[in-house]
Every structure is written in C-alpha cells, then in structure tokens.
Structure 1
C-alpha cells in the first residue's frame, strides 16, 4: 500500500465512514469567507477591536468595562438599586456585590436607603465619582467616534439600532 493511500478498517455499524484528508499543505491566506457571513463572528470581532482600545483608555481612570458601565448607569439613574443594576447589565448579584464594594472603597459611589423600598439601598455617585464618570464618559464617547471613523453618523446610528434589535426585547 502506498504512503498516500488512506487506510480504512471495516466500519462498525452505525458509524460514519472515515473521511480521507488531502495531504497536508501550507495556507498562504486564511479563508474567513464563511465566518464573515455570521453576525456573531462579526459582532465579536468588532467588539474585541473596540474593547481593547476601551480598556487602554479606561486604564487612566483605573476602570474596567463593567466598572464604567455601573458608574455610567448610576450617573444617569441616581438611586438605582443593585437588583436593577444586575438585571440591566446581566451580572449575577454575588459578582456585583464585590464590584459595588470596590467602587465604594474608592470613594466613587455611596449607598443610601431607598426612598420607597425599606429593604433596598439606592446607589449614588459621590462628587469624586461624578467627576470621574464625566471624564470617563467623554473618553468613551471619543473612543466610539474614533473606532467607527469609517462610518457616517447615520451608519453609526443604524448599526447601534440593528445591534439593539438583537439583544433588546421587542418594543424596548
């Protein structure tokens, strides 16, 4: 039997026939044609490109992506509860507890009794938190412009709207 032929054994019942592979060869250009047709692949690639730069730019504020998200939500929703933050960000409560504690330890947020729910605490920015969040949001907004520079303003809005159609509930 020559070295290029494929050896096969008697196939057990109920199994697929062995697949013969062509001889190994190098690839000069990787074909991503199929992957580029997938929404998930394209979304993930775009997200990775933006998040990498986002993390670099947020490092000056010592913020991770989720820290920034929490601060921004609190800035725009003073008194938001931890339960609401978890639901909005898709974060498990045990994970949010440590995150909130860390932001509180840095003097960026504070918890106060909720005005209508005696069991809940509302989360508020401190003055230092408000300043840092305003600076970080400005940086994030500039990053978005930089990262989508090849899109027109209309295309940028359309892209955001289309992405939201994927993850937001209908009618939201």
Structure 2
C-alpha cells in the first residue's frame, strides 16, 4: 500500500509544471534545469515591475543546452514562450537580461518551465484523436510511467 501511495505522489509530481517567480537583483540571472534526452520542453515567461505587476519590463532571453548551443533567443520582450526537444541529457539554461542594473533591481520574472508529460498539449491531442477525459488521463499516466522508467535507467547508468 505504501508503494502505491508513493507512486501516486511521484506521478503527481511528474505531471505538475515547475512555476518559478524570482527577482532579478542583477542584470543577468540564469535558471538551470536537468533534462533527459528526447524530452519536450516548454517555457512561458513574463517580466514585470516587482512593485507594480501591471507594468511590463522588457528582457532579453537566451536558452542554451549543456554544450552552449542556442535553443532560443529573444530580445526586448516582456513575455513569451520557448519550446524545444532536448537532443541529449544534461543541464539546460535559461538566462534573462535587463537593459541595466537599476531596471534589474525593480524586475521580477515569472517562469513556467515544463518538461515531458507536463509540456504536452493534451487538449489538442484529445480533440484530434476524439479522446474522452479518461483516455487523456490514461495517456498522461502512461507517459509519466515512461518518464519514470527512463529516469530509473539513467540513474542506473550513473551508478555504474
């Protein structure tokens, strides 16, 4: 019974997205994420004044993989999205840069970084394939199980 409960908690964690809000404080701030090979990755960001969230702030965004290959680059945007499929396992990085240090001190970033099952557009799949809610949930669980299995294999490789 404990194993079932632990599995349910693990599945819930895998199916959730990682939302992160942070204050810039320096002109450039980077966020790192360890990502498996062949994983779908989607990130949504919004930059705004920390004292007045209705005031957008333009930032430059640079997303790179562990070999420093540029996966996404945008200039002077207050919000946007990046998406890619990871070619290999490793540490991926998203860096946000403001125009100057005074702007950085008043800027807050909201980042929603999703990978794997959490990054999949299930609504579109359900409409295209005429799936009911239960079928969609089963596909999510199936995808999460595949991700768990791939993660276990990767951990075994690291132990060797």
The structure that is strand-richer by fraction is 2
TM-score (norm 1): 0.28
Q: Which has the higher contact order (CA 8 A, sep 6+)?
A: 2
